[in-house]
C-alpha cells in the first residue's frame, strides 16, 4: 500500500504504517496517539466497513471525511434490464460472501456499541 501511495506522488516520509493494530478500534487508538494534534482525517476503507470505522475514529475525537473504496457491484444503473439473465436472481457464492460481510459488520458495530467503544 505504501509503494502504491508513493507511486501516486505521496512523499514517503509523509506515510506512517500501523503494523501493530489487530482491529479497527486499535487502529483508531493508535492513530490518535500518532496524530495527537490533528482534528480531522480522511478515512479510506472498504465501503462496507466505513460506518463502523468512521464511528470508531469519531469516538477518538476526529472529524472524519469518509472515502469509501472497494465497492461490490455487478451491475450499474446504466445497464439495461435486457442484460440481466435468470442467473442474476439465483443464490451464488458472491452473494453469500456479501451477506457474510454485512453480518460481520453488523455484529462488529453491535459488539463495539455494547462494550462502549462506539
State the pLDDT at residue 104.
92
d(CA 74, CA 7): 29
Task: Please write the tens of the pLDDT for every residue from 61-106.
Answer: 999 999 998 887 666 666 666 677 777 777 888 888 888 988 999 9
Grid cell listed for 43 = 478515512
Collapsed DSSP state (helix, strand, coil) of residue 44:
strand
The DSSP output letter for 87 is G
| pTM assigned to the model | 0.73
Amino acid at each position: 500500500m505504501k509503494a502504491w501511495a508513493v507511486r501516486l506522488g505521496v512523499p514517503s516520509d509523509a506515510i506512517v504504517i500501523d503494523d501493530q493494530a489487530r482491529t479497527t478500534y486499535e487502529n483508531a487508538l493508535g492513530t490518535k496517539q500518532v496524530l495527537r494534534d490533528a482534528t480531522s482525517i480522511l478515512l479510506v476503507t472498504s465501503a462496507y466497513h466505513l460506518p463502523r470505522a468512521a464511528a470508531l475514529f469519531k469516538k477518538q475525537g476526529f472529524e472524519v471525511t469518509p472515502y469509501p473504496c472497494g465497492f461490490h457491484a455487478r451491475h450499474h444503473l446504466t445497464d439495461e434490464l435486457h442484460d440481466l439473465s435468470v442467473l442474476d436472481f439465483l443464490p451464488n457464492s458472491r452473494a453469500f460472501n456479501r451477506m457474510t460481510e454485512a453480518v460481520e459488520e453488523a455484529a462488529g458495530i453491535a459488539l463495539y456499541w455494547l462494550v462502549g467503544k462506539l
